[in-house]
Chains A and B, each alone.
Chain A
Amino acid sequence: MVDPVSDATPASAETPQSAASKLFDIRLMIGGLFTVYGVMLTVAGLFTSDADLRKATGININLILGIGMLLLGGFFLVWHRLSPKRVEPPPTDQPDRTESQ
């Protein structure tokens, strides 16, 4: 057991391992959010009211934006599927601290 108050030990010797490799993949979040939004807006666009159309100078913006967001969401999901995040070894251009004597 490491004594929590023995702070005299050199910091580097006790630096715990980085947990950065456990970070999730943001592509899933972007893909998921834009797909959900895309579906919501596309459906709203299909049942758009005349008042909404008039407000947007005749453009069915919910439909257009909905389809656009679906495409972007799909892009991120497909990208994630095709090249999933790899757990990479520590990059080679990074001097390893434990061996840098």
Chain B
Amino acid sequence: MCTASLADGGLRAVLKLDVNFFDWTILAIYFTLVVAIGVMARRAIATSEDFLLAGRSLPAWVTGIAFISANLGAIEILGMAANGAQYGMSTLHFYWIGAVPAMVFLGLVMMPFYYGSRVRTVPEFLLRRFNPATHLFNAVSFAAAAVLTAGVNLFALALVINALIGWPIWVSIMISAGFVLVYITLGGLSGAIYNEVLQFFVIVAGLVPLVVIGLHSVGGYAGLKEKVTHTALGPDSFSTWSGTAVGNWSNPLGDWIGIVMGLGFVLSFGYWTTNFAEVQRALSAKDLNSAQRTPLIGSYPKIFIPALTIIPGLIALVLVPKLGQVDKAGNPTGLTYNDAIPALMNKFLPNGTLGIALAGLLAAFMAGMAANISSFNTVFTYDIWQTYLVKGRRDGYYLKVGRIVTVAGILIGIGTAFIASGYGNIMIYIQLLFSYFNAPLFATFIVAMFWKRATPWAGFWGLVAGSVGAAAMHFGGYHIAYFARGGLTNDQMLNFYGALTAFVADVIVTAAVTMVTPSKPEAELAGLVWGVPDPNAPDPNTVPKPPWWASPKLLGGTSLGIVLVLSFIFV
């Protein structure tokens, strides 16, 4: 989310950590285990589905933690701490309204269509529901965005290693890519997911000490609140909804229409329910109940992670002099907001705990890259290679292709990282371009699953119209006075409204094209659309009923309830 400033601002030399033999031992143990997991997971791979979908055999708690861990990359962690320091508690919107409802919706409503129809990827759902054009549009834009994001992760990781340990950028890029290469080329998705589970616990163990010591040093939560009021953020920084009135907003994230509809509905549902890097974790679960519970289990850590990101951001704002301040030319005068967590690590953590936090941070960067590569290889192998280029071979052939594509994806990621290190701005523009493709996805999926009349070509043109709508709003928005305060356009708010535009454009064009093009015969939609059951589906009475504590409705309802209560406390 905040790659731009990570690349531009750079971490100052003052962040150089005092790493000693003890910390190196901790790091060495961790990365030995990372490789060992890949090597040992290899035994469990005999088919392409074993490699690309972990054999659809994992228990719900594993896929649930991997689901959240695939999102908890280091760019996310450093970026959300930066947002905390920059926007205050309004950052909670990215976690609560901007994530949990979508995760619950995915588990309760959409997963039966994904898992129940036995599609192997998200684009494959579009192929069966609509047509090859829609499928190709989504598969290609997803695959390209995934390798690009992997490369950006790799570059961000190299920057952090350079600042914290002092290794040259290119050494860090090659070594980190080497680790990822080993554990996902050998262990496949199982290797990636198992490492994500491990990484989740290590990153939490690394962040908790920062919060404990940080809060202690500022006089607890009350002390933090009091001290933050005296910073540039001001007294409103501990309120999430103040200043969100439509027509007269002052909240750093804009008005409530943008937050609720743009972020909470379109962007959040689009990311969590259609991004294959996320949905893939659920598809690797061992049965429908486990697949449904994957995002629901993941929603619980998501609710509480802000305590480990936003709070350190605010602590750093109070304790690190000149954090995030810029001179008249816009150049940082001290550390940037993205440096919040590394700065606290440097300030507070003694050797030992420092090693744990560093291991967690490095692991989170690698997991961010691995999640993208392990979804890229699946989409490329199944949706592009097997569907269009070389059809009808035996499974062993596609297993081999999957492995080669994994290596190729990592090589492209390395190339991307080197381009990013030379031309950071190009990467920002390309990421912006891909965000236009993502914006309308949820509109297309929700129409696809609930309106059986929607025609194959309506799916394609809806996506195209939505992408164009997002781009138009993005460029046009800079000329609309309502989005600006003090002469500066609010990028977050514009982003939310751009997503809304994409949604509306997508739905209107989908409906219009449906009126003039032929629908698919209902028999071909079995199991893919609400109200058209799959005649081959097993009789619900023969499927063993899960115990009460594994009920998706209970898990999802409780998660939403906790968010509601917390939202009133931090209103």
Instruction: Tell me the A residues contacting B by CB distance below 8 Å.
Output: 7-11, 14-24, 26, 29-30, 33-34, 36-37, 40-41, 44-45, 48-49, 52-53, 55-59, 61-62, 64-66, 68-69, 72, 88, 91-95, 100
Q: Are B395 and A11 in contact (CB under 8 A)?
A: yes
Q: Are B351 and A52 in contact (CB under 8 A)?
A: yes
* 24 A–B contacts, CB within 8 A, in A order: A11-B393, A14-B394, A18-B57, A19-B55, A20-B44, A20-B55, A20-B56, A23-B44, A23-B190, A26-B198, A30-B198, A33-B198, A41-B352, A55-B347, A56-B350, A57-B348, A61-B349, A69-B205, A72-B201, A72-B205, A92-B542, A93-B543, A95-B536, A100-B536
Q: Are A44 and B22 in contact (CB under 8 A)?
A: yes
When A19-B45, A26-B198, A91-B287 are in contact, do A33 and B392 touch as well, CB less than 8 Å? no
Q: How many residues of B contact A (CB 8 A)?
A: 61
Q: Are B55 and A23 in contact (CB under 8 A)?
A: yes
Partner of A23, one of B25, B57, B537: B57
Q: A11: shortest Cβ distance to chain B, in Å?
A: 6
Q: Are A41 and B288 in contact (CB under 8 A)?
A: no
Q: B481: shortest Cβ distance to chain A, in Å?
A: 47
Give Cα A17–Cα B46 distance, bound, in whole angstroms.
Answer: 7
Q: Are A65 and B205 in contact (CB under 8 A)?
A: yes
B326 at the interface (CB under 8 A from A): no
Q: Are B350 and A48 in contact (CB under 8 A)?
A: yes
B544 at the interface (CB under 8 A from A): yes
Q: Are A19 and B41 in contact (CB under 8 A)?
A: no
Q: Are A16 and B29 in contact (CB under 8 A)?
A: no
Give the residue name and chain of the B residue nearest to A44 (CB).
B352
Binary A-proximity of B186-221 (CB < 8 A = 1, otherwise 0) = 000010001001100110010011001100110000
Q: A87: shortest Cβ distance to chain B, in Å?
A: 10
When A15-B47, A20-B55 are in contact, do A41 and B353 touch as well, CB less than 8 Å? yes
B208 contact set on A, CB distance < 8 A:
65, 68
Q: Are B50 and A20 in contact (CB under 8 A)?
A: yes
B198 contact set on A, CB distance < 8 A:
26, 29-30, 33
Q: B559: shortest Cβ distance to chain A, in Å?
A: 22
Give the residue name and chain of the B residue nearest to A21 (CB).
B57
Give the residue name and chain of the A residue nearest to B542 (CB).
A92
B56 contact set on A, CB distance < 8 A:
20, 94
Give Cα A68–Cα B201 distance, bound, in whole angstroms.
Answer: 12
Give the residue name and chain of the A residue nearest to B287 (CB).
A91
Residues 408-441 of B at the A interface (beta carbon under 8 Å): none
Give Cα A36–Cα B197 distance, bound, in whole angstroms.
Answer: 17
